[in-house]
Amino acid sequence: MRLEQLQTFLAIADTGSFQAAARRCGVTQSTVSRQIRALEDDLGLPLYHRTAQAKLTVGGERLLPRARRICQEWQQAISDIGDLVAGKQPELCVAGIHSVCSHLLPPIITQFCQRYPDVQLRLTALGSDRSLKVLRDGLVDIAVVMHNPLLTSNQEMVVTPLYEEPVEVLMSAAHPLSQYSVIPWAALADYPQVVFKDGYGMQRLVQAQFNEVDGELKVALELNTLDAFRGVVRQGNLVALLPQSALAESRRDTALAVRKTAQPELTRKVVMVTTQDRLQLPPVRHFCEMVKDLASASFKALDDLPMLLAG
Quick: pLDDT tens for 161-203.
Answer: 999 999 999 999 999 999 999 999 999 999 999 998 887 888 8
Which of 121-135, 205-219, 247-261, 297-311 has the least mean pLDDT? 297-311
* 173 in Cβ contact with 257 (< 8 Å): yes
Instruction: Give the tens place of pLDDT for each residue, 238-294.
Output: 999 999 888 988 999 999 999 999 999 999 999 999 999 999 999 999 999 999 999
The strand pair at 157-172 and 256-261 is best described as antiparallel
60 pLDDT higher than 60:
yes
Whole-number Å distance between alpha carbons of 250 and 232: 12
311 pLDDT higher than 80:
no
Residue 264 CB contacts under 8 Å (≥ 6 apart), including other chains: 209, 212, 213
Residue from 161, 164, 143 nearest 266 by CA: 164
User: Is the CATH number of domain 3-85 1.10.10.10?
Assistant: yes
246-257 as b/e, with b when 16 or more CB fall inside 10 Å? Answer: bbbebeeeeebb
Q: Residue type for 177, please?
A: L
* 302 in Cβ contact with 311 (< 8 Å): no
Whole-number Å distance between alpha carbons of 10 and 12: 5
| Structural domain boundaries in the chain | 3-85, 91-162+271-308, 164-268
Mean pLDDT of the chain: 89
Whole-number Å distance between alpha carbons of 203 and 185: 16
Whole-number Å distance between alpha carbons of 292 and 163: 9
User: pLDDT tier at 304 (50, 70, 90 boundaries)?
Assistant: very low
* Residue 287 CB coordination number (10 Å): 26
Whole-number Å distance between alpha carbons of 204 and 252: 28
Whole-number Å distance between alpha carbons of 187 and 169: 12
* Residue 196 CB coordination number (10 Å): 24
**Number of residues in the chain:** 311
Whole-number Å distance between alpha carbons of 227 and 125: 14
The strand pair at 91-96 and 55-56 is best described as unpaired
Domains 3-85 and 91-162+271-308 are alike in CATH topology:
no
Mean pLDDT of 127-148: 94
Whole-number Å distance between alpha carbons of 175 and 256: 9
* 101 in Cβ contact with 123 (< 8 Å): yes
The strand pair at 267-275 and 55-56 is best described as unpaired
Domain 164-268 -> CATH class: alpha beta
Whole-number Å distance between alpha carbons of 122 and 142: 11
Domain 91-162+271-308 -> CATH class: alpha beta
Whole-number Å distance between alpha carbons of 172 and 258: 9
